[in-house]
């Protein structure tokens, strides 16, 4: 199971890559493996503000719909339009081309409260 050291993680299996106050968010390799084949992604609208743990997107696998949560409070700035044409990018490249949205984080210091790779690995029992 791929859990890059450079990222932070949530209990609900999102990853977050912080660059200053800008964050890129997706779902983890573990999450995509559990979801199996992703067939549709409902993307958030840029400009939408979210509190931490607000459901902002939906990833639909063949079997079920799963909410994707904002890891931290902030404003959505961009959604990955490539997922509309090819939702399976979440399966094939969860930490790269399968990113879901970008957001401007209200208080980047809050990221310290998220899990690091080691804590996330423990969380999923790896």
The angle subtended at Cα 25 by Cα 76 and Cα 1, nearest 5°, is 170
Interatomic CA distance for residues 29 and 40, integer angstroms: 17
From the list 35-43, 71-79, 94-102, 114-122, the region that binds another protein by CB under 8 A is 35-43
Helix, strand, or coil here: 27? strand
Which of 21, 51, 62, 122 is the binder for another protein (CB under 8 A)? Answer: 62
Window contacting another protein (CB under 8 A); options: 33-41, 43-51, 70-78, 110-118: 33-41
Site membership for another protein, residue 36 (CB under 8 A): yes
Whole-number Cα distances in Å, 6 to 16, 20, 49, 81, 115? 9, 14, 26, 24, 11
Number of Cβ within a 10 Å radius of residue 58: 14
**Does 117 sit near another protein (CB under 8 A)?**
no
Of 64, 81, 109, 112, which one interacts with another protein (CB under 8 A)?
64
Closer by beta carbon to another protein, 23 or else 41:
41
Residues of the shown chain interacting with another protein in the complex, contacts defined by CB under 8 A: 34, 36-37, 39-40, 42, 58, 60-65
């Amino acid at each position: 199971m791929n859990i890059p050291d450079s990222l932070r993680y949530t209990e609900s299996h999102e990853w977050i890559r912080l660059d200053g106050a800008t964050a890129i968010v997706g779902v983890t390799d573990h999450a995509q493996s559990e979801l199996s084949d992703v067939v549709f992604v409902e993307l958030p609208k840029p400009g939408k503000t979210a509190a931490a743990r607000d459901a902002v997107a939906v990833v639909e696998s063949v079997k079920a719909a799963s909410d994707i949560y904002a890891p931290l409070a902030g404003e959505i700035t961009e959604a990955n339009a490539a997922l509309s044409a090819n939702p399976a990018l979440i399966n094939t490249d969860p930490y790269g081309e399968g990113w879901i949205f970008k957001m401007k984080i209200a208080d980047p210091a809050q990221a310290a409260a998220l899990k690091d790779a080691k804590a996330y690995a423990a969380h999923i029992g790896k």
